[in-house]
Chains A and B, each alone.
Chain A
Amino acid sequence: MSILEVENLSVSFKQYTDGFKEINHKVISSLSVTLEAGEILAVVGASGSGKSLLAHAILGILPRNASISGTIKYKGVELTAARLATLRGKELALVPQSVNFLDPLMRVGSQVRTASNSEDVVSAQRKVFERYHLGKEVESMYPFQLSGGMARRTLLSTAMVSGAKVIIADEPTPGLDPIVIKEALSNFREFADKGCAVMLITHDIESALQITDKIAVFYAGTTVEIASVKDFVGKGEAIRHPYTKALWRALPQNEFISIPGSQPHPSSLPPGCLFAPRCEIATPECEQAPPDMRELRDGMVRCIHAT
Chain B
Amino acid sequence: MQLEAKDVGFRYGDGPWLFQRVNVMLEPGEIVGITGPSGRGKTTFCRILAGFESPVEGTVHVNGAPLPKSGYHPVQMVLQHPEKATNPRWKMHKVLNEGYQPDKELLDLLGIEQEWLTRWPHELSGGELQRFCVARALGPNTRFLIADEMTTMLDANTQAQIWHAIMSIAKQREMGILVVTHESKLMQRLCHRVIDFNEFD
> Does A250 sit at the interface, judged by CB under 8 A?
yes
A175-B149, A177-B36 given; A262·B156 CB < 8 A:
no
A203 to B124, CA, bound (A): 18
- B-side interface mostly: helix
Task: Kindly state whether residue B155 has any CB partner on chain A within 8 Å.
Answer: yes
Q: A250-B160, A258-B160, A258-B164 are in contact. Are A178 and B182 (CB under 8 A)?
A: yes
- Which 4 pairs of residues, A with B, have the shortest CB-CB distance? A149-B38, A48-B125, A258-B160, A147-B39
| Interface: A19 (CB within 8 A) | no
- B186 contacts A47, CB within 8 Å? no
A-B contact count (CB 8 A): 105
Please measure, in the bound complex, the distance between the C-alpha atom of A47 and the C-alpha atom of B113, giving whole angstroms: 17
Contact B182 A175 (CB under 8 A): yes
Determine if B125 and A47 form an interchain contact, defined as CB atoms under 8 angstroms apart.
Answer: yes
Closest Cβ–Cβ distance, residue A77 to chain B (whole Å): 34
Q: Which residues of A contact B182 (CB under 8 A)?
A: 175-178, 181
Is B54 positioned at the interface, with any CB of A under 8 Å from its CB?
Answer: no
Counting CB contacts under 8 A, is A261 at the interface?
A: yes
A146 to chain B, nearest CB (A): 8
With an 8 Å Cβ cutoff, the count of chain A residues facing the other chain is: 40
B161 on the A face (CB < 8 A): yes
Residues B111 and A175 in contact, CB atoms below 8 Å apart: no
B111 touches A48 (CB 8 A): no
On whether the beta carbons of B38 and A180 are closer than 8 Å, the reply is: yes
Among candidates B37, B111, B124, residue contacting A261 with C-beta atoms closer than 8 Å: B111
Of the candidates B123, B153, B163, the one whose C-beta lies within 8 Å of that of A171 is B153
Write the chain B residue with the least CB distance to A257.
Answer: B160
Q: Shortest CB–CB separation between residue B156 and chain A, in angstroms? A: 4
User: A residues within 8 A CB of B125?
Assistant: 46-48, 263
Instruction: Check A247–B153 contact: CB distance below 8 A.
Output: no
Q: Mind listing 27 A-B residue pairs with CB under 8 Å?
A: A44-B155, A46-B125, A46-B157, A47-B126, A47-B127, A47-B154, A48-B124, A48-B125, A48-B128, A149-B37, A150-B38, A177-B36, A177-B37, A178-B184, A180-B37, A203-B154, A204-B183, A206-B185, A250-B156, A250-B159, A252-B188, A252-B189, A253-B189, A260-B111, A261-B111, A262-B127, A262-B158
Q: Which of A19-50 contact B (CB under 8 A)?
A: 44-48
Residues of A within 8 A of B183 (CB): 204, 252
Any chain B CB within 8 A of the CB of A282?
Answer: no
Q: Assess whether A175 is in contact with B158, with CB atoms less than 8 Å apart.
A: no
A-B contact sample (9 more), CB < 8 A, given A175-B80, A205-B156: A44-B155, A47-B125, A47-B153, A147-B38, A149-B37, A171-B153, A174-B153, A252-B186, A263-B125
B43 at the interface (CB under 8 A from A): yes
